[in-house]
Each structure stands twice: as structure tokens, then as C-alpha cells.
Structure 1
Amino acid sequence: MLPAQIAAVRPLSRDQMAARAAADIPEGWYVNLGIGIPTLIANHVPQGREVIFQSENGLLGFGPAPEADKIDPFVINAGKQHVTLLKGAALLHQADSFAMIRGRHLDLCVLGAFQVAVNGDIANWATSNNDAAPAVGGAMDLALGARRVWVMMEHTTKDGAPRLVEACTYPLTAIGVVSRVYTNFAVMNVIPGGFRLVEIVEGLTLHELQKVTAAPILA
């Protein structure tokens, strides 16, 4: 359960989180969007800014989700969601797509996560050793191959447990790779000694945010 003061605050919606992250992506960056909340970022790129989105299944240069009457059933991202192709887009073999990732040609990957540790560790593929997920999938390649890794996730679990922690208790995807975290409560950079607060939702204090964060927050 969230403390009463925090429960009364209006957190960012998932689309608002995506728009906030999209605003921080510079012109011309090559970006992979992980399954889940990060895929919404493609719908919120500021008008006039070119960001080249890449998907592990072989898309380069895709855009926002299509309107319901303009869906092409053959154009999907790695999360099996329908997307659009922008002018100049390319279709690649999956091996070429992963060569881009492993060759460190991506400026950024934005991943969802179950937990992020204060040292930048990320756990995003399983919640226990007995989890139903068969394997880590492409997340490990992305976490290690992209030049930068940001995370987008809810600040707490449905039960109110912190997702930002001193050390991950779930199986790790990668060690020390996360540099920024976007949640429904705040934006924080990962720096030595704690999470550096960049932005906080209206009506929430740093003291209250710390109550739902299991690692130091530095103002």
C-alpha cells in the first residue's frame, strides 16, 4: 500500500511518461524501444524532430501506431504491435538488426524493468528463478549493446513495493548499464551514491518520494 500522501498525488499516465522521455531524445538519434511502456515513445516524438527507431525484428525508421483503419498486418515491432513506416524506412534481416545492436550503433535503448539498482543494474525479464519467461530474449543484447540505456517503469509494484532499490533481488539482465529512469512519479539519473532527482510530479515532495524508493535520492 502506498502512503496516504502519495496515494493522493496524481501520477503521470503511461502516455505522459512516454511523452516526457520522448522530449529528451535528441535529433537524429538511433533508438530501440523495449516491449511495454517504452513502445509508446514512438507516438510522442516532438513535431519536426527526427528520431530513427529500430526494432530487433528488422525495422529501421518506424513511426507511431497506425490508425485503426490503416493497419498493415505485416508491419509490426518486436513486441508484435502494429507500427507505421516513415519515409526512408528500411526492412532488415534479423541478423543485420542484431549486428546493429551488438556493434554499438544505437545511441539509446529505452527498456521497461521490474527493478533498477542504485549502481545501474537492471532486472527486466523474470521475477524469480521459476518465472515462466523462457529466456532473457533481446534485452541483454540491447542493455549491453546500446550506448545509453534508459528505463521507463512504474515507480512501485501494484502492492506499493519500491522498484528502485539498493540491489536487485530479481535475476539480472545487465550490470551497471542504466543511466536514467523515468517513472510515473519522477525522472532520475543514476549516479554514484544514489539516484539524482531531475524532475518530480506536481504535489509530491522529495521526502514522500524517498518513502517509496529503496535507495538514496539526491536532490
Structure 2
Amino acid sequence: MKALTEAEVKVRIAKRVAEMLPDGGFVNLGVGIPTLAVDYLPDGKTLHIQTENGMLGVGPKPATEAETVPNLINASRTPITEMPGCCYFDSATSFAMIRSGRVDATVIGAIQVSEQGDLANWALPGKGVLGPGGAMDLVVGVKEVIVATSHVAKNGKHKLIPVCTVPLTGIKVVNTLVTEFAVFKFKNGKMVLVEHTADITLAEVAAMTSARYEVDPQLQVREV
């Protein structure tokens, strides 16, 4: 298995997520890796990106410093651009969109994901806690929950585990899980490996995954 830099991990995940997002759909991109997905959309694919801090019609990051508008940021507090027809609104309206099921998909990060599809992504014991933000609303109000995360933590601990051990964001809420090496789907209460990259073996996926999972009979191997 090839060792990847942190930047390579982020780009791999963002590119794979970008391919999954529904063409023409309304999508919320969470903090961190998820916000990178808009920079890797396939040619011809259009999305209506919603950010919970109050904008619909988020464009990619500014190409140059001259194009950067200090007050124009996403939920990660990073600069963004406007798409034609974009609009702004307050938090009440933003969360009304999210809670009412009008958003087609959300891409969200993770600290841990259980084999049942439980998600923990907002608090680590012993660390400062800012609060869950909009994560709890997103995982229950949006039609499709896509988790984008590195396969293991920076300290080498497994993130895909039988039962989450840190505070939960939602129970059985994850539909799709994307890492730099694999894609899992959660079907009928089971975690299913549907894809892995060509630079890793099934045995290597198993070695870094504590959660129990099944292998899809139509498992795809993705070139990277």
C-alpha cells in the first residue's frame, strides 16, 4: 500500500465525492474535506451548493487573491465565489431548508463511523468543544448523507469501528462512506464494501477497518 500525503488523501476523497453528487442537485458541503468537492466536479456537472452559514449558489474557491472577498466564506471559513443566481439568507431560513428535506445530499466529515452507520463527528474527549454546529440537523434532514473521511486517524487509530466511542451526531444516518481507499454503502443495517482503489488489497482494507462489513459481489476496483 502506497503511503499518501495529507494533501493527496484530501484530493482523492474530494474527487470521488464530486463524482457521486447528483447533477443539478441541492447539496450541503460540511467543514474540511467536503468543501473541496466543489473544486473537482466533472465537466458538465452542475450543483446548487448550500452552506449553512447562509448562502445558496456557492462557487469554487477564488482563483486569485484579487478575486477574494473577505466576507464571502463557507462553513469552513474559507473564501468562496458566487455562482450566477446565488442568494443569501439568515440561519433560520438555512436550517429550514435543511430540516424540511429540500436538500438532496450532504457531505460531512467524521471522527468515527460505526458498522451500523452511526456517525460521530463533533467532539473528542479532552479537546475543546465548539458544539455540533449544523451536523445533527443535516444528518436527519437531508436525503443522502455522504461521509468523507480519511480511513484512519492521524494517530493510526481506526475510524471505522464496531461501535462509536465518542459523542454521536446521529444514529444509523450514514448512507455512503468515502475514504481515500474505499467506498462503503450502508444497506439494511449492514456495512458493505462496494469499491476500493487499485493500490490497496482487500486484506489491507480489512487490516485498517475494525467495523464488520460485507464485500459486495459486484465489488469495483478503482484506478487512481
Q: Is the 8 A contact 1:155 1:164 kept in 2?
A: yes
**Aligned counterparts of 1:139 and 1:10: Cα–Cα separation in 2:** 28
Aligned to 2:103: 106
Q: Is the 8 A contact 2:53 2:94 kept in 1?
A: yes
Q: Deviations over 1:64-114 (max 9, x none)?
A: 101222101121112211101101111112211111011111111110000
- Residue 173 (structure 1) aligned with residue 169 (structure 2): yes
**4+ long deviations beyond 2 Å:** 8-13, 191-195
Q: Deviations over 1:174-195 (max 9, x none)?
A: 1110011111111111234642
TM-score (norm 2): 0.89
Cα drift, residue 197 of structure 1:
1.6
One-letter amino acid matched to 2:86: A
TM-score (norm 1): 0.91
The counterpart of 1:84, out of the listed 56, 72, 81, is 81
One-letter amino acid matched to 1:96: T
1:208 is paired with a residue of what secondary structure?
Answer: helix
- Residue 49 (structure 1) aligned with residue 45 (structure 2): yes
Q: Is the 8 A contact 1:119 1:191 kept in 2?
A: no
Identity %: 40
Q: How does 1:111-122 map to 2 (within 5 A)?
A: 111-122=108-119
Cα drift, residue 13 of structure 1:
2.6
The counterpart of 1:187, out of the listed 169, 180, 183, is 183
Number of residue equivalences: 212
Aligned to 2:30: 34
What runs of 5+ residues in structure 2 fail to find an aligned partner? 216-224
What runs of 5+ residues in structure 1 fail to find an aligned partner? 1-5
One-letter amino acid matched to 1:143: V
Of 71-80 and 34-43, more deviation after overlay is shown by: 71-80
What do you get for the CA RMSD once the two structures are aligned?
1.5
2:169 is paired with a residue of what secondary structure?
Answer: coil
Q: Is the 8 A contact 1:194 1:215 kept in 2?
A: no
Aligned to 1:18: 14
Aligned to 2:220: none
